[in-house]
Amino acid sequence: MDHSYHQRITMDRFTFVSNAQQAQGAGFLSQLSIDSGEGTARYQRFFTFSPVFETAEHAVAYALDQAREWMQHKSLA
């Protein structure tokens, strides 16, 4: 069974999709994709964060926090 959860938000001209994938064993991995523009001017990035979370909701919330941080600084640390 696929236990995948996601949430999409748009800020400014960027679309962020946060995702939680069930990790091997227990817990969930947090993922974030960033998309903006079209055609040759399209900007896409994909991140998987190293913490493993107990719930999918926590993993998605972490990715959304990273999206907000990215918008403030236009980069992820």
Question: What is the spatial distance between Cα 61 and Cα 39, in angstroms, rounded to a whole number?
Answer: 30
For residue range 5-20, list pLDDT tens digits in order: 788 888 888 999 999 9
Question: Could you state, in order of their start, the residue ranges of all structural domains in the chain?
Answer: 5-73
Residue among 13, 5, 7, 3 nearest 66 (CA)? 7
DSSP designation for 40: G
Residue with tokens 């998605």: 60
Look at the chain and count its residues.
77
pLDDT for 4 equals: 56
Q: What is the mean pLDDT of residues 68-77?
A: 72
- Residue 62 in contact with residue 33, Cβ under 8 Å? no
Give me the architecture of the 5-73 domain, per CATH. Roll (3.10)
